[in-house]
Structure 1
């Protein structure tokens, strides 16, 4: 069961809130429609329910607010737009990646592909999907964690009738299994056809809270749509004959001038009247009309002209206890400012709260929870698109080519030959490639969020950050050694075995080379996470040799008075555990790396970016 109590959005300066004191219940086993014209506050209400917008009020999902649900994916499924996936990712790859987010086995992805009819398109790229297939994939993403509640924002907008019927059939099936479904729509006929409970909004306020039957009686009426070049004359004749027969028939001329809407009659009666008087008829069809003129312009089949409320609608509404107001150009009447019809429990709660002078608790915007299995998620995110493989291949090819060119003249040191690091480049290709992969770790998620569209932006949970650091560091380490081994092997083949020799200080060189690539990957990752764009991560990597190294080199240097010689021995004396003597060499190598200008600049950059990332995360938790 979903209970929304006192939802009120934070208003912009000088404007009314998009949602104002909205209270309603959505029962399990029933499909609930949020109905209203564009700008009525439907989307804002859904985002308030998901704690994605600042405001006041609370929404309970089976008795708990969303931020207290341990695994939100198992409680709420959301469709607030298109599938938020990378366009190059496959349908199956997207679902398998989100399986790690929801904490479900990967077999769930294939099950849902069969359920939504996308089994034959599992290897299709997301960018190539049609609108109908995209909505099917979005529904599959929402159902991934087998949630109890589904929240959808105008899911059938733009769909063909067949696709829309299939979608609403799936929603009804979910409700019949005991789930709760809430979807927003602007079409009253869609709400009457697909929902058993209709909540009508207007200007952010609750206008009506009714069951489907009461809504259909009070809001929708059957009519006969007529199109004729003699529409005015035909309307006058139909009205005259109805008065003569003492029958209530209302004829409304549409704005187009050649169309009529006849209420209280049938196609046969209108057709017989036109035939007897020799009037041509170009269209004659049974339709269902909306009694509210506010939606008249939204119906392509034609509705009442603005400002008219027919007598039949008034009688039907009064029989249901619904106040009727004319839909003129002015503001809302008093009847539109209070809930009417149907269940009055929600409105009574809101009234009691207002009478006591108590405001509902504020809604704090919170970041989405991270994946339940962050390492598995990050691996699937990284290798689910061809970008990663392409970057690795380009970096490896460029490094091998540069190493061959640098070793040709014999003036470049062997270490720089193997690293493919000419003096003209601020960083070797391996370090630049590692930084790019790290920047894409967060940058791609801000462009194509991994979580469902309505669950907010990129999560900042510590487990996900550690998983990204671990995976990006491992890939950077692998790239560094692929480049080193590939360059060494190529030089041995091209110039002979005498060129490549193992230097005596191979340990510090290996540590420094690995630390450089891993540090660049982490710098790109953290910078992209702080500034929420991939370009910021690449800029942070380039800033290390271009900006920070010259600054460190220009710092005033004095005579060296003290030395770190003997540091490993002193650390061994302080530690409880004794480590092997070989570890001393690695520690000294690490100390020399930090003392090097590039190493010092990289350590300084990583420290600054880590503090900035933690500060922005902490600030987001406090404000949201």
Structure 2
């Protein structure tokens, strides 16, 4: 069951809030439609329920707010707007990536593809899907973790009649299996035809909460749709005959040559047109909307609660609860107080003995059918978002809604690997890096002025970075940049989270990719040089170990700089710009900072570090330490280390800023 209480969006400058004090419930095993002609208001209600937008109110999913559910994707499946994801990713690859995000086996992707009928399109790209197929994929994403509740925003928008019938059949089957379904629509006929209960909004306020049959009877009525080139004449004749026969009908002129006749049927309208020789192009029975109505008092969500009527009722508590918006708790307590001994009983209520349990129906959410103490229910409803408030203090306003980051992905490393391998950007980058590196090394060898280490790395003095380092930086920037541009994680709840686990997975995968890229680039350059110029340029240098460590560290550092910069600035271009800024901007600044007269220098630091060890390190580890120190002492290495430190601190600050507040 879903219970929404007092949902209110924040005011918009001088305008009233888009959603004001909306309370309703969607019961288990039933399909509930949220009907609103302005779909933006209905979308705002869903976002407030899912804690994706700031405002006031509280929503219970089977008795618990969403932020208190350890794995929200197992409780509620969400579809808001278009399906987010990279357009070049396949349908099956996208779902397998989300399987790692929600923590379910990868085989679940094939199961939901079969449920929504996309098995034949599992290798299609997201960017090529039609509107109907996109809706099917969105429903598959919502069903991926087998949630109890489905919250869908306009799932039938833009679908054909056949596709809409299929979609509503899936929703009905989910409800019949014991789930809860809540969807928004702006079509009153669709709501009456497919839902068990219809919650009607108008201008952001709740105007009706009815069963589908009551909604169809009070809000809809049958009509005869007529299309004729002589619509005005036919309408006048129908009105004249109805007046003569003392029958009550209503003829409404629609756009063009259309009429809507209320209170009649196709036979009577057709006979009138036939008798007067009026050509009719369309004559059909339809269900029409009666239009806006006056707001009706909506029945709030009710739960049976047993309250003990004491001889000394808590008058202050009843008064405080009576001022609470959107609840009838104060009224109920006032009734209980009036029936206590010593008070004037209500003539309409039977007198009760002292300490007798009085059964009341109160609009407060509780989990299950158990009787809950009144103090516990009141405390839960009014202090769920204010844990530091005194237990007896009750706010007259609904609790504020705080937007919290999503906990996904639950398996970040598996998610990151599937994200990297799911699109062709990584493969194209690898091919371009290898081709560019091979061409540069051949051209540099032809001139004969480049040292062998720079020759194998294809790093001329004119370029700020070698192709392998630039490629690693681009792959690192894509790791977070595309995540914000095509946020696949938004299919779960909200936007891309700034989780340290996700950052660690991206850094680990970026380091592995950079290591592979650096080794393959040097190996391919050496093989090509050996093929073109022979063995002269491919001899192994004496200090190959330290040179190799420096080379791998450079490429890995560029990849990490791309990841961190893209995560901070949420842009692939910003990530790549941060990589290029290291040799172009940071290196000159560092060199300028250390220039000038100096009394002491750090010359001979590697030798002193080796002497610092009292014993010999195993496996000659002091050599690796010395190589790392030499690399940091170089301009590019030092600038890269400085940039990585600054970016990491900035990322940690932005990730923890919400928690500090």
* TM-score of the aligned structures, taking structure 2 as reference length: 0.83
Q: Does 2:591 match 1:553?
A: yes
1:508 aligns with 2:552: no
Query: What corresponds to 1:605 in structure 2?
Result: 643
Change (3 A) 1:232 1:497: closer
Deviation at 1:622, TM superposition (A): 4.9
Tell whether 2:577 aligns with 1:539.
Answer: yes
| CA offsets 1:258-296 (integer angstroms, 9 cap, x no match) | 33222222111111222223333222110101011x5xx
Instruction: Show the counterpart of 1:288.
Output: 287
Mapped contact 2:32–2:197 kept (Cα < 8 A) = yes
Paired residue for 1:446, among 484, 494, 516? Answer: 484
Q: Relative to structure 1, is the Cα distance of residues 357 and 383 closer, same or farther in structure 2, using a 3 angstrom cutoff?
A: closer
Deviations 1:92-149 (A, max 9, x none): 1111111111111111111111111111111111111111111111111111010111
Question: SS of 1:537's equivalent?
Answer: helix
Q: 2:465 aligns with which of 427, 446, 450?
A: 427
What are the residue-to-residue correspondences of 1:200-599 with 2, within 5 Å? 200-247=200-247, 249-256=248-255, 258-292=257-291, 294=292, 324-325=293-294, 336=295, 339-340=297-298, 345=302, 350-352=326-328, 358-453=396-491, 455-555=493-593, 556-557=595-596, 558-561=598-601, 563-564=604-605, 565-568=607-610, 570=612, 579-599=617-637
Cα shift at 1:370: 2.3
Structure 1 stretch displaced more, 254-263 or 418-427: 254-263
Q: Tell me by how many angstroms 1:173 deviates.
A: 0.8
CA contact (8 A) 1:78 1:452 kept: no
SS at match of 2:574: helix
**Deviation (angstroms), 1:344:** 6.3
CA deviations 1:38-66 (Å, max 9, x no partner) are 25610111111111111111111112211
Mapped partners of 1:136, 1:203: distance in 2: 30
Partner of 1:122: 122
Partners of 2:325 and 2:398 within 8 A in 1: no
> In structure 2, the residue corresponding to 1:23 is in which secondary structure?
strand
Partner in structure 2 of residue 300 of structure 1: none
User: How far apart in 2 are the matches of 1:426 and 1:279?
Assistant: 83
Distance 1:66 1:435, change over 3 A: same
Spell out, residue by residue over 1:285-331, the C-alpha distance to the aligned partner (whole angstroms, 9 max, x if none). Answer: 10101011x5xxxxxxxxxxxxxxxxxxxxxxxxxxxxx54xxxxxx
Q: Is the 8 A contact 1:40 1:201 kept in 2?
A: no
Distance 2:264 2:252 in 1: 15
Distance 1:527 1:257, change over 3 A: closer
Task: Tell whether 2:132 aligns with 1:174.
Answer: no
**d(CA) in 2 for partners of 1:413, 1:433:** 22
- Structure 2 residue aligned with 1:6: 6
TM-aligned CA deviation for residue 428 of structure 1: 0.2
- C-alpha spacing 1:407/1:62, structure 2 compared with 1 (3 Å): same
- Structure 2 counterpart of 1:310: none
Change in CA separation of 1:572 and 1:141 when aligned onto 2, cut-off 3 Å = farther
Deviations 1:537-583 (A, max 9, x none): 0110000000010111112352445553332553667xxxx850511
Other-structure match for 1:332: none
Per-residue deviation at 1:526?
0.6
The DSSP-based 3-state class of the residue aligned with 2:251 is strand
1:391 aligns to what SS in structure 2? helix
Aligned position for 2:192 = 192
Alpha-carbon shift at residue 184 of structure 1 (Å): 0.7
Q: How many angstroms apart in 2 are the aligned matches of 1:357 and 1:200?
A: 28
Q: Does structure 2 retain, via aligned residues, the 8 Å contact 1:209–1:344?
A: no
What's the CA shift for 1:239?
3.1
Q: How does 1:144-163 map to 2 (within 5 A)?
A: 144-163=144-163
> d(CA) in 2 for partners of 1:94 and 1:235?
56
- Unaligned stretches of 5+ residues in structure 2: 304-321, 332-393
Q: Distance in 1 between matches of 2:578 and 2:420?
A: 21
Q: CA deviation at 1:357?
A: 5.7
- Residue aligning to 1:74: 74
Against the structure 1 CA distance between its residues 464 and 599, is the aligned structure 2 distance closer, same or farther, given a 3 Å change threshold? Answer: same
| Deviation at residue 499 of structure 1 after TM alignment | 2.3
Structure 1 range deviating more: 268-277 or 462-471: 268-277
CA RMSD of aligned residues (A): 2.1
Tell me, what secondary structure is at the counterpart of 1:599? helix
* TM-score normalised by L of structure 1: 0.88
2:404 partner SS? coil
1:354 to 1:551, Cα distance in 2 relative to 1, 3 A = farther
Q: Contact between 2:3 and 2:301, CA under 8 Å: does it hold in 1? A: no
Give the structure 2 partner of residue 302 of structure 1. Answer: none
Asked if the contact 1:39–1:203 (Cα under 8 Å) also holds between the matched residues in 2, the reply is: no
- Rounded Cα–Cα distance in structure 2 between residues aligned with 1:363 and 1:568: 58
* Residue of structure 2 equivalent to 1:301: none
Task: Give me the whole-angstrom Cα distance separating, in 2, the residues matched to 1:357 and 1:126.
Answer: 47
Q: Is the 8 A contact 2:49 2:59 kept in 1?
A: yes
Task: For residue 286 of structure 1, give the secondary structure of its aligned residue in structure 2.
Answer: strand
8 A contact 1:35–1:191 mirrored in 2: yes
Aligned residues: 576
- The answer to which of 44-53 and 558-567 deviates more is 558-567
Instruction: Report deviation, 1:7.
Output: 1.2
Q: Which moved more, 1:235-244 or 1:177-186?
A: 235-244
User: Partners of 2:79 and 2:581 in 1: how far apart?
Assistant: 40
